[in-house]
């Protein structure tokens, strides 16, 4: 079975990823408005009304701002762990969303998709990445993390495609106008990955089966798309991994659509 992947939005403003198998369509995160989510899905020939579920990585607004409207208008199931649900409910001051609760570290099923949530280091309550499987196709998604742990490497290693954070260039971060405390948080172990860290992570898990890597959550102020791609490609080339296609994601438009065999 194959998976179809498109990153509808990625960045500090909004994050949303579309994944489809033969029978199932899901969103990973819902940071876009319902109207914009629908518009971007139509661009790739998909239908918002056909989405079965939304799986949430963590409670930050750029990952969950559209949840309530999407559920009310289209009735898709909502999946998150209990800490993320509690944080969303406190922030939004609402407890009327009918959540499906998963446990971090325990796989669950959405029709023909197996979803494996795993813990990642980030400054939120219980953030997760996901491995989505429609055997034999396997996709890894880790969009916000401060460091690449052994667990993250273990989960991503069998994947044929990954969406992975590539947030900033350290030099650009240092000269940015952001407060020093924020710079420290971004660069810390609970913050966000730098370009070279992302390249090293990919190099450590890439085998001949890895088809494509999407660089996600690029900072508009502290990164440059061409710089991010070059840095990651240089690390991969140094490790003899030139077969891995490195692709970008965008804040203002959809990514390339790929089919994961």
Spatial contact of 81 and 89, defined as CB atoms under 8 Å apart: no
Tokens of 38: 């629908």
Spatial contact of 46 and 25, defined as CB atoms under 8 Å apart: yes
pLDDT digits (tens, 9 = 90+) for 45-75: 999 999 999 999 999 999 999 999 999 999 9
Q: Is the pTM of this model over 0.75?
A: yes
- Nearest Cα to Cα of residue 166 among 233, 217, 221, 220: 217
- Domain 3-260: which CATH class? alpha beta
Q: How many CB atoms lie within 10 A of CB 105?
A: 12
Is pLDDT at 207 greater than 90 in this prediction? no
Is pLDDT at 93 greater than 70 in this prediction? no
Is pLDDT at 124 greater than 70 in this prediction? yes
Q: How confident is the model at residue 95, as a pLDDT?
A: 72
């Amino acid at each position: 079975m194959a998976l179809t992947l498109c990153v509808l939005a990625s960045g500090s403003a909004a994050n949303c990823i579309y994944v489809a198998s033969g029978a199932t369509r899901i969103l990973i995160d819902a940071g876009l408005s319902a109207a914009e989510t629908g518009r971007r899905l139509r661009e790739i020939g998909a239908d918002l009304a056909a989405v079965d579920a939304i799986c949430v990585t963590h409670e930050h607004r750029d990952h969950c701002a559209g949840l309530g409207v999407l559920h009310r208008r289209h009735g898709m199931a909502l999946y998150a762990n209990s800490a993320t649900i509690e944080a969303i409910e406190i922030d939004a001051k609402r407890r009327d969303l009918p959540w499906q609760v998963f446990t971090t570290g325990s796989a669950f099923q959405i029709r023909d998709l197996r979803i494996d949530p795993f813990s990642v280091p980030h400054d939120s309550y219980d953030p997760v990445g996901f491995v989505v499987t429609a055997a034999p196709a396997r996709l890894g998604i880790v969009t916000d993390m401060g460091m690449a742990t052994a667990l993250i490497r273990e989960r991503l290693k069998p994947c044929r495609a990954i969406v992975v954070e590539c947030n900033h260039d350290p030099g650009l971060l240092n000269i940015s106008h952001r407060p020093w405390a924020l710079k420290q948080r971004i660069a810390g172990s609970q913050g966000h990955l730098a370009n070279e860290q992302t390249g090293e992570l990919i190099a450590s898990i890439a085998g001949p089966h890895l088809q494509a890597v999407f660089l996600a959550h690029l900072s508009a102020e502290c990164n440059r798309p061409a710089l991010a791609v070059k840095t990651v490609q240089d690390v991969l080339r140094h490790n003899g991994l030139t077969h891995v296609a490195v692709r970008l994601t965008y804040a203002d438009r959809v990514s390339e659509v790929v089919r994961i065999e």
